[in-house]
Amino acid sequence: MKDLFHVIKNVRMSEKATYLNELNNEIVLDVDTNANKLEIKQAVETLLGKKVADVRTLITRGKAKRRRRADEGRTNHVKKAIVRLAEGEKLDLV
């Protein structure tokens, strides 16, 4: 089991994330790439103090980037978690 403070990296605030929060009571988080759904659920419940109904995860691959002439690299891979809070729970991020 990981330290719960290292599971959640960032709260993703975008237009789609705000829409999901208003419509389905879901929050979008950037999480550790090795974290599984159970660890994400435990981290949200203990650190934010909210009950979780459902967790969905996805990994976005890093984009290929070019710097200078022929130096080619990639941006980092990011794992996102879409966490649906239980009924009656509300988390105001704005």
**Confidence at 94, pLDDT banded by 50, 70, 90:** low
**Confidence at 1, pLDDT banded by 50, 70, 90:** low
Q: How far is CA 18 from CA 62, 65, 68, 93, in A?
A: 23, 29, 37, 9
Whether 90 is in a domain gets the answer no
The pLDDT tens digits for 8-59 are 999 999 899 888 888 899 999 999 999 999 999 999 999 989 999 999 999 9
Whether 17 is in a domain gets the answer yes
pLDDT recorded at residue 86: 92
Cβ proximity of 42 and 8 under 8 Å: no
Whether 91 is in a domain gets the answer no
Whether 92 is in a domain gets the answer no
Whether 15 is in a domain gets the answer yes
**Confidence at 71, pLDDT banded by 50, 70, 90:** confident
CATH number at residue 34: 3.30.70.330
Per the structure, how many domains does the chain have?
1
Domain extent at residue 20: 4-64+71-85
